């Protein structure tokens, strides 16, 4: 069961409106900014796919950045564990940070398990319609466990990792994601192509 995100405690603060706007940055970059929220089980290929898409966009001259789940927990979210409450806060922080990247005109990709529908929908509501694109990396837990690149499933089965999604903690599939990528059946190139096609269809990047 998810918890409510903390209320804002800061008082006597006023939003400062910049003269260099998101629109100006997008025009300079030659593409629109957007958040691609990759979600799925550990081992489903979220990070690999996000970085493959970034590489393709970078080669086109795009302004990009990947917020990876493990990397963020080395800094911004290093004080959080993996309880339900900490997962809520982890996703909240990433959502707020992604908003800043969008204002910078960047195509931002997040690779987080983000197991709870309610939390992902809470982040979606932070963004104007069309700025949050949920990409579900669909892969059966059996396949993810076979890959087990980091050895996490084995440790979770042994009881060494509590609250492990797919084993001792649930994963809630998206109801209506903008894209479902079957990472168990498609290779990396095919998966990345599906994401790039989505960006073209949405007018985020120009058609080749």
The residues that are catalytic are 114
Number of CB atoms found within 10 A of residue 67's CB: 22
53 neighbors 195 (Cβ within 8 angstroms): yes
How far is residue 182's CA from residue 169's CA, in Å, rounded to a whole number?
A: 22
The residues that bridge with 180 in the sheet, in sequence order, are 136
């Amino acid at each position: 069961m998810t918890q409510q995100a903390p209320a804002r405690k800061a008082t006597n603060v006023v939003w400062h409106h910049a003269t260099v706007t998101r629109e100006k940055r997008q025009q300079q970059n030659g593409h629109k900014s957007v958040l691609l929220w990759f979600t799925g089980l550990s081992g489903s290929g979220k990070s690999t796919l996000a970085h493959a898409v970034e590489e393709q966009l970078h080669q086109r001259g795009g302004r990009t950045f990947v917020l990876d789940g493990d990397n963020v927990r080395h800094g911004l979210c290093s004080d959080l564990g993996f309880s339900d409450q900490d997962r809520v806060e982890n996703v909240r922080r990433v959502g707020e940070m992604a908003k800043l990247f969008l204002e910078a005109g960047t195509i931002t990709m997040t690779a987080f398990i983000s197991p709870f529908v309610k939390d992902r929908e809470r982040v979606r509501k932070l963004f104007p319609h069309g700025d949050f694109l949920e990409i579900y990396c669909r892969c059966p837990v059996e396949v993810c466990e076979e890959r087990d690149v980091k050895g996490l499933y084995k440790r979770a089965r042994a009881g060494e990792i509590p609250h492990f999604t797919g084993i001792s903690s649930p994963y809630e599939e998206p109801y209506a994601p903008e894209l479902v990528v079957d990472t168990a059946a498609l290779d990396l190139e095919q998966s990345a192509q599906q994401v790039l096609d989505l960006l073209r269809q949405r007018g985020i990047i120009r058609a080749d």
